[in-house]
């Protein structure tokens, strides 16, 4: 709301006649003025303390001049820049109307079509700003004006022009409640920071409050850096879009153009995809000896969501900073592990409940790289399939060839000493695959298969006792495809998925019951069950991007959420899974996701070319 000029205010600024004061903030004072042609303009005059650095003034004039390139739709067009008394000012189109910060307290939160139009209009403004090479850096409710012809975004380009004022003080550039984590800790700031602020602003419009609160500065900053947003009852698909934009990792946020595409989709199921992309075909992995088609479904296909969306920097939650204690400066730095013979990189934190224990590299065959206990180095092994024990001290691997007596075998090796024992399992023409240790490490489950021509049919399963070095073959009749057996989270029953229905058997091969029908391509049951087997996860029946968590005992759906996961790899802890998430054609990643579909951590990143030669299974080891 305009107020009369005060005695201390100038009457003319840069040749513009001033009429009134429109507002005042940490950056400067905003006047209503008249241009040479009589058009009303808004003039923002920077505070003296911000203009004291003449190098900064020159940068300001250069950067804000660049903002004049922004297409005028959905923004307040920048008309002129200059300096008066060595203090820069910026002249922009005057938009008649309230700011979002004024309108919401007066008329209440936006809902339905009104909220959707606001989201589309402001996202379009951001897309135009970013297309001009500008990063807003201070997107917030006061900088969204509700004009008669739709929402307009103002003050873009100013924060960059003023430099990276990220000291956590009352005069900081930006509002903590709407600032991205990387902005708070002094990291590189790109368009992704604007998407974080945009999502917070739209959440404010929908709920009447900021998603991370707006009380004390330390409390707000702590929530932005460490906690999940409060989005109230915002419906899908907008809720999922906002969650993606509020990801702590800037590389896992969609661009403004991608947000617009998703807002224009009416079906929530197709709108909820993290870092949306055109359909990406799943990668095909080879069938090598006993590595059969179901194994190909168990490995990772195209993986996405890495840091490179805005820079090659590390994610913000682990960046060192000299800011006050409310920042993550005390957080431990991650251990960054170069994965041998690849360009992939793994990242680990001391508090992680699991860590990388094995990965595979494609050469003439798939070679396994196994973590050495207590180290960040890996030893190369050549097996058709292999898995480390739950404590990481032993490796169970299936050799590529039968032994001299035409037995398929399982080699169990002490990782530290290299000593091993070989257990005979099945005889030719049967083979085994899908190595799976029981949670307590006392048994190993294999799947018995028979290949006839180009067709492979599961025959049953094999239970290996590594201590006694014995194997028991359990035949299960009636199976008609290549399907893996896996422990159900305990060591006393096993499961396999037939026609998208998990069947549970005792260790004698007697079927006990079936579980609810699952959907999608999660074909390897080794990735499904929590420790103890109390619940399991898979794609929901008939839904492409929605995951369900079921109670194993009752079959009740405990949780259903839309997810950007391409392939679920297993349970990270009781409330998180880890998975792959398709991004673009250049870089890929393995990420941790909560049970609302929010990615909270990036575990592995690599170029797409490197990922073509890699795959991972549910082979992170749980620390105990």
CATH (domain of 9): 3.30.200.20
Please count the CA atoms within 13 angstroms of the CA of 621 that sit on its side-chain side.
23
Closest CA to 76 of 99, 56, 60, 109: 99
Token readout for 368 is 């396994």
Same domain, 554 and 593: yes
Is the confidence at residue 457, as pLDDT, over 90?
A: yes
Rounded CA-CA distance 158/153 in Å is 12
Distance, CA of 292 to CA of 459 (rounded, Å): 14
Number of domain units in the chain? 3
Out of 93, 118, 144, pick the residue that ends a domain: 93
Q: Do 616 and 534 fall into the same domain?
A: yes
Please tell me whether residues 68 and 160 are part of one structural domain: no
Which pair of structure tokens corresponds to residue 249?
A: 């990792």
pLDDT for the residue 494 = 97
Exposure on the CB side of residue 351, measured as CA atoms within 13 A: 5
Q: Is the pLDDT of residue 345 over 90?
A: no
More confident residue, 266 or 10: 10
Has residue 286 been placed in a domain? no
- Read off the pLDDT of each residue in 345-363 and give the average, rounded to a whole number: 83
Q: Who contacts 332 (Cβ-Cβ below 8 Å, separation ≥6)? A: 318, 349, 350, 351
Residues 348, 340: Cα–Cα separation, whole Å: 16
What does the pLDDT read at residue 620?
A: 67
**Given 39, 55, 138, 551, which residue is catalytic?**
138
In a domain, 100, yes or no: no
Position 198 in a domain = yes
Indicate if 471 and 526 belong to the same structural domain.
Answer: yes
Assess if residue 396 is contained within a domain: yes
Q: Which of 93, 115, 130 is the last residue of a domain?
A: 93
Give the structural domain span for 48: 3-93
Residue 278 lies in a domain: no
Token duo for residue 186: 């002094």
* Better pLDDT: 158 or 232: 232
CB-neighbour burial class of residue 509 (10 A; exposed 0-12, middle 13-18, buried 19+): middle
Both structure tokens of 571: 């349970």
98 inside domain: no
Mean pLDDT for the stretch of residues 48-56: 70
Domain boundary among 93, 126, 141: 93
Distance CA 46, CA 86 (A): 10
- For residue 542, CA distances in Å to 122, 240, 262, 547, 554 come to 34, 19, 21, 11, 21
Residues 111 and 31 grouped into a single domain: no
Give the CATH number, domain containing residue 212. 1.10.510.10
138 is catalytic: yes
pLDDT (tens digit per residue) in 64-110: 655 666 767 777 777 887 888 878 888 888 888 899 999 999 999 99
Tokens read off for 292: 């059969």
**Element containing residue 374 per DSSP (H, E):** none
Residue 301, pLDDT score: 22
* Domain assignment present for 34: yes
DSSP, res 193: H
CB 550 within 8 A of CB 513: no
């Amino acid at each position: 709301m305009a107020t009369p000029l005060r005695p201390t205010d100038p009457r003319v600024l840069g040749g513009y006649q001033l009429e009134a004061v429109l507002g005042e903030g940490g950056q400067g004072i905003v006047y209503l003025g008249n241009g040479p042609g009589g058009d009303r303009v808004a003039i923002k005059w920077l505070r003296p303390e911000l203009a004291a650095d003449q190098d900064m003034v020159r940068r300001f004039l250069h950067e804000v001049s660049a903002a004049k390139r922004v297409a005028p739709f959905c923004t307040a067009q920048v008309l002129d820049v200059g300096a008066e008394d060595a203090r820069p000012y910026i002249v922009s189109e005057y938009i008649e109307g309230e700011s979002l910060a004024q309108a919401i307290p007066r008329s209440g939160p936006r809902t339905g079509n009104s909220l959707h139009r606001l989201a589309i209009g402001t996202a379009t403004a951001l897309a135009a700003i970013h297309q001009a090479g500008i990063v807003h850096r201070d997107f917030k409710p006061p900088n969204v004006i509700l004009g008669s012809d739709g929402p307009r975004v103002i003050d873009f380009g100013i924060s960059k022009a003023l430099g990276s004022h990220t000291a956590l003080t009352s005069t900081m550039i930006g509002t903590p409640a709407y600032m991205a984590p990387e902005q708070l800790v002094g990291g590189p700031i790109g368009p992704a920071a604007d998407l974080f602020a945009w999502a917070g602003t739209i959440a404010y419009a929908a709920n009447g409050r900021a998603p991370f609160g707006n009380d004390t500065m330390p409390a707000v900053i702590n929530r932005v850096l460490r906690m999940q947003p409060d989005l109230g009852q915002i419906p899908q698909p907008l809720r999922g879009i906002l969650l993606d934009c509020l990801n702590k990792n800037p590389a896992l946020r969609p661009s403004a153009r991608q947000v617009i595409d998703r807002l224009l989709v009416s079906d929530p199921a197709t709108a909820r995809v993290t870092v949306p992309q055109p359909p990406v075909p799943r990668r095909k992995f080879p069938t090598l000896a006993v590595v059969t088609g179901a194994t190909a479904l168990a490995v990772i296909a195209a993986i996405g969501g890495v840091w490179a969306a805005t820079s090659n920097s590390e994610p913000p939650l682990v960046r060192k900073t000299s800011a006050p204690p409310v920042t993550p400066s005390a957080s431990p730095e991650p251990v960054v592990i170069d994965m041998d013979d690849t360009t992939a990189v793994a990242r680990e934190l001391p508090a992680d409940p699991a860590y990388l224990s094995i990965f595979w590299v494609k050469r003439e065959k798939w070679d396994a790289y196994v973590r050495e206990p207590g180290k960040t180095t890996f030893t190369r092994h050549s097996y058709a399939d292999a898995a480390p024990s739950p404590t990481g001290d032993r490796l169970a691997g299936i050799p590529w060839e039968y032994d001299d007596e035409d037995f398929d075998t399982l080699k169990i090796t002490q990782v530290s000493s290299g000593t091993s024992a070989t257990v005979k399992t099945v005889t030719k023409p049967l083979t085994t695959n899908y190595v799976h240790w029981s949670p307590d490490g006392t048994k190993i489950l294999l799947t018995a298969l028979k290949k006839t021509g180009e067709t492979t049919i599961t025959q049953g399963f094999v239970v290996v006792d590594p201590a006694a070095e014995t194997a028991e073959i359990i035949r299960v009749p009636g199976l008609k495809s290549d399907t893996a057996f896996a422990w159900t989270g305990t060591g006393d029953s096993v499961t396999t998925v037939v026609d998208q229905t998990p069947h549970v058997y005792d260790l004698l091969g007697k079927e006990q019951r079936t579980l609810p029908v699952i959907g999608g391509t999660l074909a390897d049951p080794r990735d499904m069950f929590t420790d103890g087997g109390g619940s399991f996860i898979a794609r929901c029946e008939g839904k492409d991007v929605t995951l369900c968590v079921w109670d194993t005992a009752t079959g009740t759906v405990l949780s259903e959420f839309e997810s950007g996961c391409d392939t679920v790899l297993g349970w990270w802890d009781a409330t998180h899974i880890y998975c792959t998430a398709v991004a673009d054609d250049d870089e890929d990643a393995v990420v941790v996701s909560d049970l609302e579909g929010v990615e909270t951590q990036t575990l592995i990143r690599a170029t797409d070319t490197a990922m073509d030669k890699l795959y991972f299974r549910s082979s992170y080891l749980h620390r105990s």
